[in-house]
Amino acid sequence: MTKTLLPHLVTESAARVPDRPAVVMDGRSLSYAELERQSNRLARSLLGHGVRPGDRVALWLPRSIESVVALYGVMKAGAAYVPVDPGAPPARLAYIARDCAVSGLVTVAERAAALEETFAAGAPMRALWLAEEGATAAAPCVAGLPNVPWAEVGAESHAAPESRTLEGDLAYILYTSGSTGEPKGVMLSHRNALAFVEWAGDVFQVTHEDRLANHAPFHFDLSTFDLFAGARAGAAVYPLSPRIASFPAAVARQWSRDQLTVWYATPSTLVLMLTRGGLASLDLSALRVLLFAGEVFPIKYLRDLMRLAPHARYANLYGPTETNVCTWLEVAKPPEDDRPLPIGRACPYDEVLVLDETLKPVPAGGSGELWVRGATVMRGYWGRPERTALALQRIEIASGVTDLAYRTGDLVRMQTDGNLEFLGRRDHQVKTRGYRVELGEIETVLHRHPAVDEAVVLAIPDDEVTHRLRAVVVTKTEAALDEAALRQHCAESLPRYMVPESIEFRRELPRTSSGKVDRRALVQSQAS
């Protein structure tokens, strides 16, 4: 099978530019030839321990050079990688491992030791791989599973295992917040990813001379551009060290010092680098392309950024995890007024439709819900046919022509110039620091606490991080519960960015005339 899939982007660059750096991090680097060999070895090790093509393998480890080897190794074994937020608690990993029945886990010894014996119950788990140099001593075994140290992986043959993967097979599954209280796995194929990666690589002219920042963690789809458009071009990818990731001033200095040429990050990240990171005093002459996605960019900050590096290209990319990037807008010059940036036009591999509630196209200038069809649209949600059927619907796209399209839940207006304007959500999904959060998922977790009677989570708009999360809770009579204990309860099953920053206790919640909780009144009462 000669078709190029995601891992073959590395294979091809290893043939073309074997000695160029593929991954550079913390003063270490791995060339394309080495990345190719190491990922082949891991693939052989996975297959040797019983992982089969078509399986899922979870990644739960701090970002490292080995974590990049791991995701290519998993795909070379014909399996799909399932990146789990490294900051998420073990309970969330266990849920995901069970949910999509992973057959392997790539982690590090310290984390393996923190896992409960039962974490993989219900998953056909074959082994744990410890992706770190020097981890030769086996950590305590979890449920009797073998721990495969990195040295054992290194002893495998570096010849590529035979590929039995087709372009429609799954490359990765990304778990996103689910409104019913449980995260859902978005299934994406090699073809889905490649459609975006090939287009983005071409339109932003990524070459082997480029140095790409990798700020987004691997469970966030922004990382697919950094990793795969980088590999396709034979460029160097610079994954951000977990040590500095939370320090805007450290990130800004490092990117300037490393002379990174392509940055792709959320507006929250870029705004913090601008407001707290001292970007204005740094050398940005190497910056060539700056891409952002995931939330609305406050215009005053975008304008400041564009003035600091006027020589760079800027583009706003839009798309939910289910479609990856589906529309884009190149920002040619600093916007003159403060109106939010449009999300632009469809990328050439997708088509966007603005439909009313009866699924009829809205006339130009009108507003409706955004639907997307085309090459990057997901295969569905893992193990959730009903949710998939609601999200992917066969609709008429032209007279007598139907196709599966993804219903985004985003309300948009088609402007007269053909650009789409983002108006808001039709549900309670919000963004915080670029992460997509279903307020309902947090509320479900709060309700699980025995002392909680009612709970509402509010997203309070914030200039720097888009929204801050605040919970308003009514406890059961007589129940004693403090804020710290309840936040701790949340942290046991939610990733850190979903834990409410503050919790307010009230005796009752304001109601609308129909008896529903009055969210608007609650949000207004917070705006002081």
Partner 1 sequence: MTATETAIHEFLVNEVLYDRDVKDLKPEDPLIARGLLDSLSILKTVTFCEEKFGITIPDQDVLPDHFESVQAIAALVDRRRGGA
Footprint on this chain of partner 1 (rule: CB under 8 A)? 62, 86-87, 242-250, 272, 276-278, 433, 465, 468, 484, 487-488, 490-492, 496-497, 499, 501
- Closer of 62 and 201 to partner 1 (Cβ): 62
What's the length of the chain?
528
- Closer of 110 and 330 to partner 1 (Cβ): 110
Beta bridge partners of 30: 23
Strands (E), 415-498: 420-425, 429-432, 435-438, 452-462, 466-475
We find the least distance from the C-beta atom of residue 488 to partner 1, in angstroms, to be: 5
We find the least distance from the C-beta atom of residue 424 to partner 1, in angstroms, to be: 24
We find the least distance from the C-beta atom of residue 278 to partner 1, in angstroms, to be: 5
- Closer of 141 and 249 to partner 1 (Cβ): 249
- Closer of 61 and 315 to partner 1 (Cβ): 61
- Using CA atoms, how far residue 78 sits from 1, 65, 131, 177, 483, in Å, is 13, 21, 19, 27, 46
We find the least distance from the C-beta atom of residue 148 to partner 1, in angstroms, to be: 24
We find the least distance from the C-beta atom of residue 66 to partner 1, in angstroms, to be: 17
- Closer of 105 and 346 to partner 1 (Cβ): 105
User: What is the rounded distance in angstroms from the CA atom of residue 101 to the CA atom of residue 104?
Assistant: 9
Q: Kindly give the pairing relationship between strand 236-239 and strand 289-292.
A: unpaired
- Closer of 121 and 280 to partner 1 (Cβ): 280
Q: What residue type is 296 in one-letter code?
A: V
User: Residues 432, 433, 434, CA angle at the centre, nearest 5°?
Assistant: 90
- Closer of 254 and 367 to partner 1 (Cβ): 254
We find the least distance from the C-beta atom of residue 7 to partner 1, in angstroms, to be: 29
- Closer of 86 and 319 to partner 1 (Cβ): 86
Name every residue whose Cβ is closer than 8 Å to that of residue 337 and which is 6 or more positions away in sequence: 299
3-state secondary structure labels for all residues of 290-332: EEECCCCCCHHHHHHHHHHCCCCEEEEEECCCCCCCCEEEEEC
Q: What residue type is 55 in one-letter code?
A: D
Q: Kindly give the pairing relationship between strand 392-398 and strand 80-83.
A: unpaired
478 CB neighbour count, 10 Å cutoff: 6
User: What is the rounded distance in angstroms from the CA atom of residue 247 to the CA atom of residue 331?
Assistant: 27
The separation between the first and the last C-alpha atoms of the chain, rounded to the nearest angstrom, is: 62
We find the least distance from the C-beta atom of residue 91 to partner 1, in angstroms, to be: 11
The token pair that represents 395 in the structure block: 């609709």
- Using CA atoms, how far residue 54 sits from 68, 103, 111, 191, in Å, is 20, 10, 26, 15
- Closer of 124 and 242 to partner 1 (Cβ): 242
Q: Kindly give the pairing relationship between strand 184-189 and strand 170-176.
A: antiparallel
- Closer of 381 and 435 to partner 1 (Cβ): 435
Nearest to 522 by CA among 473, 450, 484: 473
We find the least distance from the C-beta atom of residue 250 to partner 1, in angstroms, to be: 5
We find the least distance from the C-beta atom of residue 271 to partner 1, in angstroms, to be: 11
We find the least distance from the C-beta atom of residue 279 to partner 1, in angstroms, to be: 10
